[in-house]
A and B are shown apart, each in its own frame.
Chain A
């Protein structure tokens, strides 16, 4: 999966699950301040990303550090890279 595909599918998650307009979906956008998510939305975000990318997301310190949409692109990219060489 290319970086562009990951960006496209992640943006779809924000459009479909959180009803955020396409125009706002830029990598520098802060998901809390600019896109309006709150801490209660994180479990929905995790579920939506799991379903969209077919990956399993467990409690992961990297999620705590996510602030921007760009951080999510990077996080999914790293998950996909790990999935290519599965570890326990």
Chain B
């Protein structure tokens, strides 16, 4: 009988220490998984610029992950995957972790990921509050069923990935961030729904878990992606260029725009003015922020576009084209942020660049 994913860390966890790990933003446990592929699609487009993640981590790199996890407070590491028991070098890693006084366990495929199990029991899981998964390609996931890479240990320190992650920040603040009936459920303190199931079903890792048997009213209260951006960004037609928010990932989003002849940025020859690409990037990041804040006040924090740089125009869009705009919050300092963006038509990149934005925050007051 397979175990659900929440039970894998067993007795190493007690509720008190989970709360402490959330408060201190550290980890209690880690899974190193050798089964995930290196392909997470759009979610890693900006990450891969720095992480060279098409090859597996070396033994030395994995040892470094173990050392880093120890300094982050990890008490138990699970080595998982079909082949873990076969390789001597993985056994060496296990011994290395034990030498650091980290409890270890090995599992082939004998625990069942709730997100894909097809069952509809309440998951009673909060793994992402105190642990994460590192894949053999270096990607860090919040939990095995929530396939949103938060970063890659090849280009970043594990502690920086954990501290910088907006996805983890939202998940740890689940009582205020979960949307819909799960938020009002009597079990919210110990459950909060399977985030993997919610993400698979709606594209929103904070949506209610519609698979849970207790969740009978969820469907009509749940917002799914792709979502029209009308209610989540301040711009109105004709200034609003983007149409829908399609995908969410770590500090990033993918949006769509259908270019119309009556838009203000259309030149006489029917092509899109270069400045419109920056506006699309700005509107897409506003859509990401607006969606994250939907639950709170219904609007995005006040923000301004301050400038652009490194804009490269590589192609032309014309009326009738459907464009994809991918954006990533690359850096932040105080209220200021730098957002990277890529605008493409099918697989052809038309423009890429960076915008500088300012958002009202406590620090910028």
Q: Which residues of A approach B to under 8 Å, CB–CB?
A: 40, 42-44, 46-47, 50, 56-59, 63, 86, 88
Please name all residues of chain A whose beta carbon is closer than 8 Å to the beta carbon of B333 when the two chains form the complex: 42-43, 46, 57, 59, 63
Number of interface residues of B (CB under 8 A): 20
Q: Which residues of A contact B91 (CB under 8 A)?
A: none
A43-B72 in contact (CB<8A): no
Chain A residue nearest to B336 (CB atoms) is A43
Q: Confirm or deny: B71 has a beta carbon within 8 angstroms of a beta carbon on chain A.
A: yes
Q: Which residues of A contact B322 (CB under 8 A)?
A: none
Are B331 and A43 closer than 8 Å at their CB atoms?
yes
What is the CA–CA distance of A46 and B334 in the complex, to the nearest angstrom?
11
Cβ–Cβ contact B160 & A88, under 8 A? no
Write the chain A residue with the least CB distance to B25.
A88
Bound form: Cα–Cα A57–B356 in Å = 18
Residue in B24, B157, B338, B363 whose CB lies within 8 Å of A44: B338
B159–A88 CB distance below 8 A: yes
Given A43-B331, A47-B331, A63-B333, 8 more pairs with CB closer than 8 A:
A40-B307, A43-B332, A43-B336, A43-B356, A44-B338, A46-B333, A50-B331, A88-B24
Complex contact A86–B356 (CB within 8 A): no
Asked whether A59 and B334 contact (CB < 8 A) given A40-B307, A43-B356, A88-B71, the answer is yes
Q: B213 → chain A, closest Cβ, in Å? A: 40
Return chain A residues, CB-CB under 8 Å to B334. 42-43, 59
Is B353 part of the contact surface with A, judged by Cβ < 8 Å?
Answer: no
Q: Closest CB of chain B to A2's CB: distance in Å?
A: 24
B52 within 8 A of A: no
B157 proximity list for chain A (CB < 8 A): 56
B71:A86 contact, CB within 8 angstroms: yes
B332 surroundings in chain A (CB, below 8 A): 43
Separation in Å of the A41 CB from the closest CB of chain B? Answer: 9
A63–B338 CA distance with the chains assembled, in angstroms: 18
B338–A47 touching, CB < 8 Å:
yes
Whether B185 sits at the interface, judged by CB under 8 Å, is: no
Decide: B356 and A40 in contact? CB cutoff 8 A: yes
Q: Does chain A have a CB within 8 A of B337? A: yes
Q: Within 8 Å CB of A42, what residues of B?
A: 333-334, 336
In the assembled complex, the CB of A17 is this many whole angstroms from the nearest CB of chain B, namely 10
Which residues of chain A have C-beta atoms less than 8 A from B159's C-beta?
Answer: 86, 88
Whether B26 sits at the interface, judged by CB under 8 Å, is yes
Residues in chain B near residue A44, CB distance under 8 A: 338, 356
Chain B residues contacting A57 (CB-CB under 8 Å) are 333
Interface membership of B306, Cβ < 8 A:
yes
**What's the Cα separation between A42 and B333 when bound, in Å?**
8
A3 to B336, CA, bound (A): 30
